[in-house]
Structure 1
Amino acid sequence: MLLLAAQQSFSPEPEPAGAPVAPRSSRASTAGPGPPLTVDLVREERFGDGNSWVFPKAMTFTDQELAELNALPQYSEKQHEWLRRHGAVPPSLLHAKVVIRGNADRPVRVVGMRAEADCGPPLTGTYFESPGGGDDDSVVIGFDLDSPDPRGQEIVDSIEWRGDYFQKKTISLERDEEITVQIVGVTEKHYCEFVVVMEVLSDAALVRQRVDNHGRPFKVSAVVAHDDSGIPRVDYPAYGALYVGGLASPGTKGKWTRRDPRAYSGP
C-alpha cells in the first residue's frame, strides 16, 4: 500500500532549552540481513535563507544569554546550534543533507520519496530576524508540505521545481556506493513536523525506509505575513517576542537585540 501524508493540527513540543539531543540512528530495520540502504549522515543546514528563526513560545532571553549568543560568529553553525537547542525552528524552508549508502549484495534502486507530515498553524511565539546576504553535486529533492501528498520533487538552481523527481529518474546504488541528497521541506501556511520515506526496490521487493532527524522529525514553520501592496511582509505584531540581528541590526554591528514586535516595522 502507498504511504499517504497526514496533515492535522497539533501542539508542537520544542526541545528543552540547553539540552542537546543525543544522535540516534535514522536507519530503518527490515527483515533479512539488514536494510537495503543505510543512512550515514543526516545534518540540518542553512544556506542563502539567512539566519532567521521562529520559536513556539514567547522567549525572554537574559542579557547573559544574549551575550552568549552574540559571542558566537554571526551566521555560523555554532549560532544555529545554540538557537536550535533553545527550541528554534527554521522559517519557511528546511535544508537537510542526507548521505545514503547501498547495503545489499545486488544493486538497489530508490524509486520514490514522500514526506509524512503533521501540520498545524504557523508558530507565533518568537521571531528572530536576520536576513541572508560551495556546495557539492548533491541531488536536491524538495517537499511541498502544504500539499496533501508531498512527494519528492526535483529542484534546479534552488528555485525551479520540476515535478516528481522519480517520475523520470531513480537512484541506483551498489553495495557501499554513496550519494548525497539535499532534502528541502517548504511551507507557506503551516508549522510542520515531518519525516521522509524512501521507496527502495531491492531483490524485486519494495521496501520503505524512513529518514528522520536522529530519531526526531524535521521541523519547519511558515512565517506569519501580511500583504503590503501585493508584497508579503512579516507580520511582526503577530509574534509574542522579536529579536533582530545581522543585516537587520546594522546599528549594533549585527548583534542580536530585543525589539517590540508591535512597534517594529522592519529593517
Structure 2
Amino acid sequence: MTPSAETISQLSERQNFKSWVQETGAVGLADIQSLVITLGGYDEKNEASVTGAELVDKHCEPALRGTLFESPGGGGGSPIPNVRFDLDKPVVSPKAFAKKEYKLKKGEQQTFVIETTTKNQACEFRVLFHVRVGTKTTTVTADDAGRPFKVTSRLPYEQYQVLYVGGIYCSGPLPYYRQDPKLFAVGRQCSKAGVTEGQTTP
C-alpha cells in the first residue's frame, strides 16, 4: 500500500483517516486500539443489566506484515477497559465485568471498552454481551457494521514491508512520512527524504 502525497496530506484529519482506513480494509493493532461499544436500554418496564461479555465467531491467522501506520501522541492515557481478552488462548472464556453490573433503563446508554491482546496473530471476532432483563437472560451481539471486528498484533518495525510514521516520531507539514522499516527499527530516526509535499516514495 503506497498512498499518494495528496492522500497523505488529507490523513491529518481524524475522520479522513478513519474513512480511509475503512475503505482500504486496514486493521487496528491489538494492545493499542481498544474497541469502544455503546449499548442502550430498550425495555419499558425493566432495567437491562449488562453482566459480562464474550467473543464469538473468532478466527485467527498469522499477523499482518504489510504496511504499518504509526503516529504516537505526546501523552494522555487510554480509557480503562471493562474487560480484556487474550486472543492467543485456544478458547476465550466469557468474562464478567470486573467491578459491577451495568444497569440501563430505556433510553440510557453505556459505553464499554473491550481490550484484546495477541502476540503474533491477526484475528476477527464479534462481541457477545450478556444481558438480564427482568427474569430473562439474553444476549446482544456487537460487530463492525455487520462485519467482524478485526485486529492484528504489533510486530517489530523490521518485519513490515512498508512503514509510515508521524506524531512525536516524525513531525512536519505532512501527518505521515515513509520510512525504511529496517533503518527505523535502529534508533527510530525519522527521515523526511522519502516523502515531500509533492511526491511519495514508490
TM-score bracket for the superposition, by shorter chain length:
0.7 to 0.9
Instruction: Give the letter for the 2:167 counterpart.
Output: G
CA distance in 2, matches of 1:201, 1:249: 49
For 2:139, the aligned partner's letter is R
Counterpart for residue 141 of structure 1:
83
CA gap of 1:91–1:257, structure 2 versus 1, over 3 A, is: same
State whether residues 122 and 222 of structure 1, in contact with CA within 8 Å, keep that contact through their aligned partners in structure 2: yes
The answer as to whether partners of 1:69 and 1:82 remain within 8 angstroms in 2 is no
Q: Does 1:122 align with 2:42?
A: no
User: Do the aligned partners of residues 97 and 142 (structure 1) sit closer, same or farther apart at CA in structure 2, a change above 3 Å counting?
Assistant: same
TM-score, scaled relative to structure 2: 0.74
Say if 2:14 is the partner of 1:82: no
After TM superposition, the structure 1 = structure 2 runs for residues 141-220 of structure 1, keeping only pairs within 5 Å, are 141-147=83-89, 148-152=91-95, 164-165=96-97, 169-220=100-151
What is the number of residues matched between the two proteins? Answer: 181
Q: CA RMSD in A?
A: 2.8
Counterpart-to-counterpart distance in 2, 1:150 and 1:129: 31
Say yes or no: does 1:259 pair with 2:190. Answer: no
Alpha carbons of 1:83 and 1:175: their partners in 2 closer, same or farther (altered >3 Å)?
Answer: closer
Distance in 2 (CA, whole Å) between partners of 1:262 and 1:138 is: 33
For 1:129, give the aligned amino acid: E
Give the match's secondary structure for 2:181.
coil
Identity %: 30
**Structure 1 gaps, min length 5:** 1-58, 153-163, 225-233
Using structure 1 for the length normalisation, give the TM-score.
0.58
Q: Is this contact kept in 1: 2:11–2:175, CA < 8 A?
A: no
Q: d(CA) in 1 for partners of 2:127 and 2:146?
A: 12
Aligned pair in 2 of structure 1 residues 125, 138: CA closer, same or farther (>3 Å)? closer
Aligned match for 2:50, one of 101, 110, 113: 110
The amino acid of 1:249's aligned partner reads C
Per-residue CA shift, 1:95-120, capped at 9, x if unaligned? 23322121123222222211222222
Corresponding position of 1:91: 29
Q: SS in structure 2 opposite 1:78?
A: helix
- Deviations along 1:177-201, one digit per CA (max 9) or x if unpaired, are 2222223333233211121101112
The one-letter amino acid of 1:256's match is Y
> 2:59 corresponds to which letter in structure 1?
D
Q: 2:7 aligns with which of 68, 71, 74?
A: 68
Structure 2, unpaired ranges of 5+ = 190-202
Q: Which amino acid aligns with 1:85?
A: E
Letter matched to residue 92 of structure 2: D
Counterparts of 1:139 and 1:125, CA distance in 2: 28
User: Deviations for 1:34-57, whole angstroms, at most 9, x for unmatched residues?
Assistant: xxxxxxxxxxxxxxxxxxxxxxxx
Q: Report what 1:157 is aligned to.
A: none
In structure 2, C-alpha distance between the alignment counterparts of 1:143 and 1:114, rounded to whole Å:
8
Separation of aligned partners in 1, 2:182 and 2:81: 42
Q: Any runs of at least 4 consecutive aligned residues in structure 1 with deviations exceeding 6 A, and if so which?
A: none
The structure-2 alpha-carbon separation of the partners of 1:177 and 1:258, relative to structure 1 and needing over 3 Å to count, comes to closer
